[in-house]
Amino acid sequence: MKAFGYVTAKDVGHAVALLGEHGAKAKILAGGTDLLVELKHVVHAPEMIVDVSRLRELKEIVVKDDGLHIGALATHGDIMSSPVIRSMFPALVDAAHSIGAVQTRNLGTLGGNLVTCVPSMDSGPTLMALEASVTVAHAAGERRMPLAELFVGPRRTSLKPGDLLVDIVIPKENLEKRAAFEKFGLRKGQALALVNAAAAFFNDKGNFRSPRIALGAVAPVVIRAPKAEAYLEGRKISAEAMAEAGHIAATEAKPISDFRASAEYRRDLIAVLVKRALGNALARTTAKEKELVA
């Protein structure tokens, strides 16, 4: 490990100023679960580490006028224990619970998981299915973009030197949308996904409305399945429609064959997990409706 400088950011403005000053030579330290491993192996070590882990304003989980804001420094453990998220989006809790071991969940942050940008990330699909956006701070202010635009390729994002991811926003219009997350790995815990999938939709008098399906570990980045979504739009909710959407989604993915599984096996998994996610989202929709009636 090569020597580097280290500065603790006082607030978001200070962090952005430090990142702007050092540009591509700086790295951000949040939970550190990925960065500390990277520092031991990268050829080109950073000259400066900017520690943002103490910025409490980036840890908030709160509903605002425009939707649910999840601070980039919220840990997976924070997400699992948040009453707001547990009530509104238990699928995010399921996804967080599938990440690593308890030590990783207590240190690793949602923002860090997203910007690491591995195709098999567990936090991405549910947020994509809920059409989340991200807020990025930089020297000139802030910009917001769809989460999908953050992902460029394996371990590559659209963030520029000097950018700082500050929060993730699920839009107001989707706060009543039910979602579900499914993952299949080679073991029950601490495993990378062979395939993961998330689905979300509104139940409009027994028909699918605004269905969204997202897939991980089956393309260079987390992807949506627009053909499967279009098939479901306005269609009567049924097990047969869910199964067909799974088969369509499998044709939209670009899985690879590697030492863990073949591309064909991954396509079969996509069909199964999409159907399962849609079914579980429906169960949550039905449960919510019963709560409202009661």
CATH superfamily of 176-289: CO dehydrogenase flavoprotein, C-terminal domain (3.30.390.50)
Q: Shortest CA distance to 141 belongs to which of 16, 15, 9, 8?
A: 16
Tell me what pLDDT residue 38 has. Answer: 77
The domain spans of the chain are: 5-51, 57-173, 176-289
7-51, pLDDT tens digit by residue? Answer: 999 999 999 999 999 988 999 999 988 887 777 776 667 889 999
Euclidean distance between CA atoms 118 and 182, whole angstroms: 17
Ranges of residues in the chain whose predicted pLDDT is under 50: 293
| CB of 105 closer than 8 Å to CB of 76 | yes
DSSP 132: -
Query: What 3-state DSSP class applies to 236?
Result: strand
Q: Identify the burial level of 215 via C-beta atoms within 10 angstroms of its C-beta, where 0-12 means exposed, 13-18 middle and 19 or more buried.
A: buried
233-268, pLDDT tens digit by residue? Answer: 999 999 999 999 999 999 999 999 998 899 999 999
* CATH, range 5-51: 3.30.43.10
Tell me what pLDDT residue 293 has. Answer: 44
DSSP E strand stretches across 74-222: 133-138, 141-146, 151-153, 156-157, 164-171, 178-185, 193-204, 207-216
Class of CATH domain 57-173: alpha beta
What's this model's pTM, rounded to 2 decimal places?
0.93
DSSP 189: S
| CB of 59 closer than 8 Å to CB of 74 | yes
